[in-house]
Each structure stands twice: as C-alpha cells, then as structure tokens.
Amino acid sequence: MISFLMLLALTLAQPVAPAHWCYQSQSQTTACTGPDNWPGYCQGKQQSPIDINTDKTMLNVSLVPFQFTDYDKRESRIIENNGHSVEVKLENSIKISGGGLQETYKAVAFHLHWSDALDEGSEHTIDGQSGAMELHIVHIKDKYKNVSEALAGNGNDEIAVLGFLIKASHGNNTGFTNLVESLSKVQYQSNNTHLKEFSLFDLIPRIDKLKNYYRYWGSLTTPNCDEKVIWTVFHEPILLHMNQILEFSKKLYYNLESDKKISMADNFRNTQQLGGRQVFTSGVGIPLPHAWPTLLAPLLTYLLAVFLY
C-alpha cells in the first residue's frame, strides 16, 4: 500500500498536459484549456516565444555558422494535421552542429504557426513586428531516442529549435508548393498524407543567408512548455506568396471531420516576458565585453595613423 501511495504521489507531482489544450482562437468556440490556464511549466519565467528587441541584443562571437547534415536529403515524408498545426516527422540522419551549440542535435519534426491575416501569425516577434507565419524545425540532442527522453534530461538545452519568420511576398515560393498543395488532404485532425520528395533546404533561406541569427534559452511554446529549449531565430525570413500563406487558414481545421468545423487560424502563442534573460546575436548588437579589444583594434590603428601623419 505504501509503495502504491508513493507512486501515486509521484504521478500527481508531474505536470501533465490536459487531453484538450487549445489556442485562444479555439477556446472562444469550444470547451478547452486556453493559454491562460495551460498546465505544466507554462506559467514559468523562462518561457517562449519572446519579442526580440534588436537594440538590446548582445553580440556573441561564439555564434558561428551552423553545419547542416542531410538538410539537402530529398525524401517523401508524411504530413499530419495533429489538431494544433501541420507536422512533418523527420528521420534522425538530419542533424545540426556548430552554431554555438555544445553538441550535435538531430531533427525530429517541423511544424508551422499562422493566422488568417498577413500582419500576424508568427510566435516570435522582432522589434514588435510579427511575421505572417513561423516555421519551427525541432531537434533533440543526438544521444536521445525521442522528445520524451530529451525532456527527461536535466539541461536547459536538451532541445534545439530553429525558428524562421515567414513574410508575404509577390513571388511564389516553389519550395513550398508541394506542402501547400497537400493541405487539402489533411484538412482535419489526424488526417495525414505523403508529400512528394523534398529537402529542408527547399523550405528555408539559402545557407549563405543563415549566418546571422538570434539566440536565447526558453521553452516549448505548447504544453507542457518545458524550459529546456535553446532557441535560434534567424534574421533572414522565408518569403511566401500571400495566397500560399492564406491557404493554411482556409484549408485546415482544428477538429475531427465528424465535428463542427473550426478553422485552424491564430495557432500561435503570444510573446512572453523576457525577464532577466539575454538575447544574443551572431550579427550586429551590443558586443560582449571580451570582444571590445578585437573590435576596437582596427579603429585605434586607423586613428593613430591619422594622428602621426
């Protein structure tokens, strides 16, 4: 009996996501747990997403370019409507290293967030400005088998997410054609279909555009909002045609096909307080103190030459 009571106590002590959490837009039309009452760590102080104030970012010279493994691998993959977004599972051969990371991380999935408007939809904002969508590529440390195992780790960097804001443009993004055309086949929760062969490099900006990014430590943006994520948000946005962006809110629904249709729109979490955290950048920003001598040396050499002349 004592062993049973101890097991019960440990079970109750663990944060558990409800069977039906939802976004604010969905909570207005159905009975579910909205963001204000999300469980687990969702009310913590190291939460994501955030607004990135570029004037307060700090230059970190250790944030070197990423090394991408198998991001160019073209394969057919399954896309699924999981009731909160569309998600594509990825094989473990796709990996990232470098980028200021201390270990190699393997990709497990990617998903997107959006609105039914073009002036909001991303989770992160930059200087208060939203993107129309946001793409998240989720990775876990190479030593783990799955996300659950990574979340059981003790570090604040067990998961690495690459975030890309998506903005509307006048041109069609052919890299997304395959994905957008599949939406009509995954309209309802639990629907899935095979995508034609594609690579992750088809979706994101060119590799030479990925040298500049922001870095901070935060959380998952859905319950249980575990604060074990090292975030990378790239400066360079992904550009999609307006019609490609709006297809997501037009074609997709939160619910099962048998239920009343509820359009899948505004499936993003609002920005959270940064608190005492620092956002770093691999590009322009406020330099770290130890970087000052390196940055000032060329300027002092120039001024000295002018003075002696």
Q: Is the pLDDT of residue 173 over 70?
A: yes
Task: For the chain, give the mean pLDDT.
Answer: 89
pLDDT computed for residue 31 by the predictor = 86
Instruction: Please report whether residue 147 resides in a domain.
Output: yes
Instruction: Please report whether residue 34 resides in a domain.
Output: no
CA distance 267 to 112: 9
Q: DSSP class of residue 253?
A: B
- Which amino acid is residue 281, in one-letter code? T
Residue 270 · residue 254 · CB < 8 Å: no
Tokens in use for 134? Answer: 């946001």
pLDDT computed for residue 296 by the predictor = 44
CA distance 21 to 222: 9
CA distance 303 to 235: 33
Instruction: Please report whether residue 273 resides in a domain.
Output: yes
Catalytic-residue membership of 84: yes
Distance set, CA 153 to CA 101, 140, 141, 161, 228 (Å): 16, 11, 10, 16, 8
Q: Is the pLDDT of residue 116 over 60?
A: yes
Instruction: State the Cα angle at 158 between 94 and 275, rounded to 5°.
Output: 125
Residue 221 · residue 116 · CB < 8 Å: no
Q: Is the pLDDT of residue 3 over 90?
A: no
The model's confidence at residue 284, banded by pLDDT at 50, 70 and 90, is low
Range of the domain at 198: 44-287
Cβ within 8 Å of residue 157, ≥6 positions away: 101, 102, 141, 217, 228, 229, 230
The two beta strands, 86-89 and 105-114, are antiparallel
Q: Residue 133's closest CA among 271, 246, 225, 49?
A: 246
pLDDT computed for residue 96 by the predictor = 98
Cβ within 8 Å of residue 164, ≥6 positions away: 134, 135, 136, 137, 204, 205, 233, 234, 236, 237, 238
pLDDT tens per residue across span 49-83 = 999 999 999 999 999 999 999 999 999 999 999 99
The whole-number average pLDDT for the span 236-258 is 97
Helix boundaries (H) for 229-273: 242-251
Q: Is the pLDDT of residue 302 over 60?
A: no
Instruction: Please report whether residue 60 resides in a domain.
Output: yes
pLDDT computed for residue 163 by the predictor = 98
Give me the number of domains the chain comprises: 1
Instruction: Please report whether residue 192 resides in a domain.
Output: yes
Q: Residue 187's closest CA among 253, 258, 284?
A: 253
pLDDT computed for residue 19 by the predictor = 47
Of 20, 84, 241, 290, the catalytic one is 84
Cβ within 8 Å of residue 186, ≥6 positions away: 79, 80, 81, 86, 192, 193, 252
Instruction: Please report whether residue 15 resides in a domain.
Output: no
Question: Tokens 């998506």 correspond to what residue?
Answer: 166
pLDDT computed for residue 305 by the predictor = 45
Distance set, CA 9 to CA 1, 12, 148, 271 (Å): 12, 5, 21, 34
Query: In the chain, what's the furthest Cα-to-Cα distance?
Result: 89
- Which amino acid is residue 103, in one-letter code? E
- Distance, C-alpha 154 to centroid of its chain: 21
Q: Is the pLDDT of residue 174 over 60?
A: yes
The model's confidence at residue 286, banded by pLDDT at 50, 70 and 90, is low
Tokens in use for 116? Answer: 């039914």
Instruction: Please report whether residue 308 resides in a domain.
Output: no
Question: Tokens 């054609």 correspond to what residue?
Answer: 177
pLDDT tens per residue across span 191-223 = 999 999 999 999 999 999 999 999 999 999 999
Any idea what the CATH number is for the domain that residue 217 is in?
Answer: 3.10.200.10
